[in-house]
Amino acid sequence: MAGRDADLRFSPYCWRTRLALAHKGLAFETHPWRFGDPAPEPASGPAQVPTLRDGERVVIDSWAIAEYLDGAYPDRPRLNAGPHARFINAWADTILDPAISRLIASDISPLLTEASAAYFVTALEQAFGMTLAEATADREERVAAFRALLAPVRRMLRTQPWLGGAAPDYADDVLGGTLMWPRCVSRFAPLAGDDPVSEWFARLGRLFGGLLETAPRAAA
């Protein structure tokens, strides 16, 4: 999922997959795709990202990709894309993503091509029932409620360094991918700097050659 700048990649689901591939130590190429573009693999399914092609195999949906990678590459570090990560994935999809969207949606459209911005704005304004500017207008007041949603993560991080335990696993990739979305498109900070979740995110960002830390962000 790319902006007008093809290097600006911001989909939370694609970031989950990029982290999963890095985690497995698998080399991968990415291709920019934008809202309204034809399906990346038209013979295999809908116009949706992430779409993974691995040889002849096409897998669509970040969760399905994580399960596929653990099944296809069992000798590589495990993602543990099982029940516990499935909960984190469902929580991120149903609770965190909508909350993040209400904090940063209005920052995204200026970064898109004209055609993809029209598609994005129409879809989100319909979902919100208001303009994107209206949707994010009170974000300074609402950010505390977003931070409160992360209380279970803060509690876990008191006793273990990663959501996966002693080492990161796909649960970390899911939350990290989710938080990459606002990081890439906005200078609005959903997390306070002294939040233990920020410290965890910074540590995750330094893994895999700084995959997250060095990813292009929208200009301030």
Q: Closest Cα to residue 19, out of 60, 58, 77, 59?
A: 77
- Whole-number minimum distance, CB 144 to ligand GSH, in Å? 26
Angle at 61 between CA 199 and CA 139, to 5 degrees: 45
Residue with smaller CB distance to ligand GSH, 90 or 202: 90
Q: Which amino acid is at 66?
A: A
Neighbours of 1 (CB within 10 A): 23
Nearest to ligand GSH of 113, 193 (CB atom)? 113
Tokens 């965190």 correspond to 96
Q: Which is nearer to ligand GSH, 1 or 112 (CB)?
A: 1
Angle of CA points 158, 163, 169, to nearest 5°: 150
Task: Find the shortest distance in angstroms from Cβ 49 to ligand GSH.
Answer: 4
Q: How far is the CB of 115 from ligand GSH (least distance, A)?
A: 12
Which residue's CB is nearer to ligand GSH, number 61 or number 67? Answer: 61
Quote the least distance from Cβ 153 to ligand GSH, whole Å. 19
Nearer CB in complex with ligand GSH: 18/139? 18
CB neighbourhood size of 95 (10 A)? 13
CB of 23 to ligand GSH, least distance (A): 16
108 φ, ψ (degrees, to nearest 5) = -80, -45
Write b or e for each residue in 120-143: b if 16 or more Cβ atoms lie within 10 A of its Cβ, otherwise e. bbeebeeebeeebeebbeebeeeb
Among residues 71 and 193, whose Cβ is nearest to ligand GSH? 71
Shortest CB 36 distance to ligand GSH, Å:
7
Quick one: CA torsion of 20, 26, 31, 35, rounded to 10 degrees? -20
Which residue ranges make up the site for ligand GSH (CB under 6 A)?
Answer: 1, 11, 13, 35, 47-50, 61-63
